[in-house]
């Protein structure tokens, strides 16, 4: 028996710890791809054969169409690199356990990064931390480091609470095999708990944290419980503070144990030093600091890196990764294992297409907005072979955006950063030439070229050359549906993906393209981000019912509405031409009708939000008004100039961009406190206004206002507005940076606020001061532009005031009706009582008379 056991162990040591299998159907796919390529080439050939003659109408349209089809064709070829050689990988955790006992497993350093306690609430951060501390792995081999780039005492306090709660949470998870091991997610499942009191303890700790965040400070009695709180004083700000390193749990200390006497993982808080005016290189700088600090404390050979909102969904995911690193034959070639990104709050049909986005997460190289991709490329170019692993059970899960504007802003940020890589020295075709295969270079460019793909999308309308056009369209569509269904999506989910792809290309990617080109040309950027974090119950219900959320007058929504109305107009015009013309015209316009019809179907939620919805997620009337004005101008111009309508969408976007400025309006619901960030250039004048639209409660109306505090980049106070239902101000930004607008609601009711902020700057003051001939012209243009912005600003202010007054009138009318009904009821009751009393009185008198 012993000999047989030894043979089994020896055989196990020879078996690989993972295997790689090539996906089936590769030959069929390659044949399909070859036929699509032939179709694309035939479309190009058709365009070249049908070049308009000199003086013939449609030359501009031909240039746009041919350029779009060339770009789409080339991009399609690039995308095939990700499908040409598809493989699946399968780790063998049982073999790992047989080969490596717990004391022989390598140490693992876990890096979690956060940057702002307002945008990334501390309770969210510690949910991720606790899920990682409870891994099914020897605790003395785990060391968790939290990098807080916000330098917040509140985040440190949350981690301090988590260090105490972990003494109960970790043994509880391991005893009852809890999944998932994020407390917030686990308790939200309303599972029949073995220890109901445990949920109450979590609720109490969560309440303490939320109270501290609401008050903006940590209670004094808690500060006395740990020396680390002494690192914060009145001089410490987010952008100016020394390094702070605090070991909350020392895993090397044998006395650091949970309530059952088991060792605990090491837990470290880190906030790196920051000084104003000194570049800190964002997440890459944070990661490099973590590497330096961890090398002095635990110095583990394996690093797990993830964001603060991505909790662990599988207790054995680290063991899966180790199967790749510790494999005797291939492990020495693997630099990192990449897991895909998934979300736990996507709707059934994934309304915003929050599908998994696979990137190369390893943020170390400086000089670009998405350092993770650059670092992954440099590692691969040095001969390493990274592994992508997509397990059947999601290893990590996060929270997906539930509003359209945030979803588009997210993709704008990604696409802009990736397009910048394409123009840098790290362009895969240049940096990777001769170092990695052409297919790998093309694979990187699938994402790096998101931004420029917006251009052909804005002007593309196909023509009828039946066989190649129809085949390419139908075949790629069918393949896309099959591929999506095989990945577990629904047919409606696939349709939502097509809609979101169109919206991203016409907004997020397009703005990313503009911003990147402006940066390459050395011009100042005009884009900025205002992000709301409050999610009220009504918004959550609309998201769960898969209703797209608009609700603001963002320029993004103006573009979406304009293009949607243009497609609707072009469809109507095309139907009119077909109905009242001969067969020759029908043959010419049938392809355009099909394309316009599909675009109209894709935009059905936009039409619904523009014309039919009455909830808070509808398109504001100002968006509809602007879209109608732009469409009217374009249609009139097209008729007068004899343009083809294929040019209209592209011209529309250019016209809208001409009116693009640093203005943003948002309507939101506030419970207690809500903050917004707004990036402003030096010397710009910032105009802001707010109006309390309504207060919740059908029987309640109040004139209670809100407080607004405006702070500069260094945290200094600029405005302090108290107890106002509406107000507007302006100030000049003395330095470039992020300005914060924090609202506080002191009433017991939820308030709906309309907030508008707009930054402007007269360029002629410095850029054209020396040009005596053009200075007056630029001055007048600048004044006109400022006047237009001010009109728009005042219009938004008046619209909000009108909405408030309408609600006030409605509530007053309702109150008057209720009062009248109440008084009528009282009068009727009093009359009835009087009749009853008189009747009783007469009955008694009548009885007395009879006696």
Measured distance between the N- and C-terminal CA atoms of the chain, rounded to whole angstroms? 117
Among residues 789, 404, 788, the alpha carbon closest in space to that of 561 is found at 404
Among residues 321, 324, 267, the alpha carbon closest in space to that of 298 is found at 267
Q: Do residues 435 and 378 lie in contact, with contact meaning Cβ atoms separated by under 8 Å?
A: no
**Residue 232, preceding bond cis, omega within 30 degrees?**
no
Question: Residue 307, annotated ligand binder?
Answer: yes
Rounded to 10°, the helix 26-49/59-79 angle is 160
DSSP tag of 740: E
State the DSSP string of 315-332.
TTHHHHHHHHHT-TTTGG
- CA torsion sign, 581 to 582 to 584 to 589? positive
d(CA 183, CA 10): 41
Strand ordering across the sheet containing 726-732: 662-670, 751-760, 685-695, 726-732
Of the residues 148, 149, 405, 515, which is catalytic?
149
Element (DSSP H or E) covering residue 410: helix 404-422
Helices and strands counted in the chain (H then E) = 27, 20
Residue 594 exposed, middle or buried by CB count within 10 Å (0-12, 13-18, 19+) = middle
Question: Residue 283, annotated ligand binder?
Answer: yes
Please say if 536 is a catalytic residue.
no
The answer for residues whose C-beta is within 8 angstroms of residue 405's C-beta and 6 or more apart is 549, 550, 551, 552, 554, 556, 557
Q: Do residues 104 and 516 lie in contact, with contact meaning Cβ atoms separated by under 8 Å?
A: no
Among residues 361, 730, 408, 755, the alpha carbon closest in space to that of 548 is found at 408
d(CA 238, CA 243): 12
d(CA 479, CA 466): 19
The answer for residues whose C-beta is within 8 angstroms of residue 496's C-beta and 6 or more apart is 349, 350, 351, 352, 353
Question: Residue 214, annotated ligand binder?
Answer: no
Neighbours of 554 (CB within 10 A): 22
In degrees rounded to 5, what are phi and psi of residue 704? -60, 130
Residue 590 exposed, middle or buried by CB count within 10 Å (0-12, 13-18, 19+) = middle
Among residues 747, 638, 757, 655, the alpha carbon closest in space to that of 701 is found at 747
Of the residues 320, 372, 405, 515, which is catalytic?
372
State the DSSP string of 500-563.
HHHHIIIIIHHHHHHHHHHHHTTPPP-----------HHHHHHHHTTPPP--S--HHHHHHHHH
Question: Residue 149, annotated ligand binder?
Answer: yes
- CA torsion sign, 606 to 610 to 612 to 615? positive
d(CA 597, CA 575): 10
Q: Do residues 713 and 735 lie in contact, with contact meaning Cβ atoms separated by under 8 Å?
A: yes
Specify the residue for token string 């072009």.
570
Neighbours of 325 (CB within 10 A): 19
Specify the residue for token string 């479309």.
43
In degrees rounded to 5, what are phi and psi of residue 96? -65, -45
d(CA 740, CA 678): 6
The three-class DSSP label of residue 348 is: coil
Pairing of strands 337-338, 751-760: unpaired
HSE-up (13 A, CA, CB side) for residue 603: 26
Please say if 327 is a catalytic residue.
no
d(CA 475, CA 32): 8
> Active-site residues: which are they?
149, 372
* Annotated binding-site positions for Mn(2+): 283, 307
Binding site residue list for UDP-alpha-D-glucose: 120, 149
Binding site feature residues: 120, 149, 283, 307
């Amino acid at each position: 028996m012993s000999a047989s056991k030894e043979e089994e162990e020896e055989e196990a040591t020879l078996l690989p710890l993972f295997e790689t299998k090539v996906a089936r159907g590769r030959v069929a796919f390659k044949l399909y791809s070859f036929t699509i390529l032939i179709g694309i080439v035939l479309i190009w050939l058709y365009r070249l054969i049908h070049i308009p003659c000199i003086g013939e109408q449609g030359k501009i349209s031909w240039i746009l169409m041919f350029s779009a089809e060339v770009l789409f064709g080339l991009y399609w070829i690039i995308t095939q690199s990700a499908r040409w050689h598809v493989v699946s990988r399968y780790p063998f955790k049982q073999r790992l356990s047989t080969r490596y006992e717990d004391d022989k497993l390598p140490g693992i350093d876990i890096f979690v990064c956060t940057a702002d306690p307002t945008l990334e609430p501390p309770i969210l951060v510690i949910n991720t931390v606790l899920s990682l501390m409870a891994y099914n792995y020897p605790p003395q081999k785990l060391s968790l480091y939290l990098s807080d780039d916000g330098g917040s005492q509140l985040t440190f306090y949350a981690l301090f609470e988590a260090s105490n709660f972990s003494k109960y949470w970790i043994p509880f998870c391991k005893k009852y095999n809890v999944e998932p091991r994020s407390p917030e997610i686990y308790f939200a499942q309303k599972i029949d708990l073995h220890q109901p009191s445990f949920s109450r303890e979590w609720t109490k700790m969560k309440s303490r944290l939320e109270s501290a965040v609401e008050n903006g400070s940590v209670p004094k009695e808690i500060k006395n419980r740990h020396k680390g709180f002494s690192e914060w004083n009145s001089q410490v700000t987010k952008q100016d503070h020394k390094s702070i390193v605090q070991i909350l749990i020392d895993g090397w200390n044998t006395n650091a144990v949970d309530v059952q006497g088991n060792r605990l993982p090491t837990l470290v808080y880190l906030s790196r030093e920051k000084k104003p005016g000194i570049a800190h290189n964002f997440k890459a700088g944070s990661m490099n600091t973590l590497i330096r600090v961890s090398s002095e404390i635990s110095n583990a050979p394996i690093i797990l890196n993830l964001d603060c909102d991505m909790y662990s969904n599988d207790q054995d995911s680290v063991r899966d990764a180790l199967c790749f690193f510790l494999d005797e034959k291939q492990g020495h070639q693997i630099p990192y294992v990449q897991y895909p990104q998934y979300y736990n709050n996507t709707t059934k049909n994934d309304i915003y297409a929050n599908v998994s986005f696979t990137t190369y997460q390893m943020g170390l190289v400086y000089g670009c907005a998405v350092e993770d991709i650059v670092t992954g490329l440099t590692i691969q170019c040095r001969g390493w072979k990274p592994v992508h692993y997509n397990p059947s059970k999601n290893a990590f899960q996060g929270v997906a955006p539930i509003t359209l504007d945030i979803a588009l802003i997210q993709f704008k940020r990604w696409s802009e950063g990736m397009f910048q890589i394409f123009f840098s020295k790290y362009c895969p075709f240049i940096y990777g030439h001769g170092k990695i295969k052409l297919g790998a270079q093309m694979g990187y460019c699938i994402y790096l070229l998101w931004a420029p793909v917006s251009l052909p999308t804005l002007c593309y309308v196909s023509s009828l050359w039946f066989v190649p056009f129809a085949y390419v369209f139908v075949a790629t569509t069918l393949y896309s549906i099959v591929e999506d269904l095989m990945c577990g999506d629904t047919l409606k989910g696939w349709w939502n993906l097509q809609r979101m792809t169109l919206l991203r290309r016409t907004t997020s990617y397009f703005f990313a393209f503009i911003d990147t080109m402006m940066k390459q040309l050395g011009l100042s950027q005009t884009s900025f981000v205002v992000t709301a974090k409050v999610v009220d119950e009504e918004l959550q219900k609309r998201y769960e019912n898969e209703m797209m959320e608009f609700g603001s007058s963002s320029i993004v929504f103006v573009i979406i509405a304009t293009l949607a109305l243009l497609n609707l107009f072009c469809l109507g015009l095309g139907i009119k031409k077909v109905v009242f013309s001969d067969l020759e015209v029908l043959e010419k316009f049938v392809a355009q009708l099909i394309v316009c019809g599909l675009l109209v179907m894709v935009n059905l939620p936009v039409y619904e939000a523009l014309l039919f919805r009455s909830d808070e997620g509808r398109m504001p009337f100002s968006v509809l008004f602007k879209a109608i004005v732009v469409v009217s101008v374009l249609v009139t111009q097209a008729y007068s100039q004899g343009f083809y309508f294929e040019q209209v969408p592209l011209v529309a976007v250019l016209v809208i961009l001409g009116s693009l400025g640093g203005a943003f309006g948002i309507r939101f619901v506030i419970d207690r406190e809500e903050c917004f960030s707004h990036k402003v250039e030096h010397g710009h004048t910032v105009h802001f206004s707010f109006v309390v639209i309504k207060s919740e409660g059908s029987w309640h109306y109040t004139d209670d206002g809100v407080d607004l505090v405006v702070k500069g980049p260094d945290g200094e106070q600029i405005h302090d507005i108290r107890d106002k239902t509406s107000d507007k101000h302006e100030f000049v930004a003395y330095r470039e940076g992020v300005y914060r607008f924090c609202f506080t609601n002191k009433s017991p009711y939820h308030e709906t606020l309309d907030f508008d902020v707009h930054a402007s700057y007269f360029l002629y003051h410095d850029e054209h001061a020396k040009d005596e001939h053009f200075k007056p012209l630029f001055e007048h243009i600048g004044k006109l532009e400022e006047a237009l912005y001010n009109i728009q600003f005042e219009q938004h202010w008046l619209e909000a005031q009108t909405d408030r007054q309408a609600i006030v009138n409605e509530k007053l009318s309702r109150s008057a009706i209720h009062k009248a009904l109440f008084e009528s009821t009282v009068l009727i009751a009093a009359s009835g009582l009087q009749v009853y009393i008189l009747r009783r009185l007469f009955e008694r008198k009548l009885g007395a008379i009879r006696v």
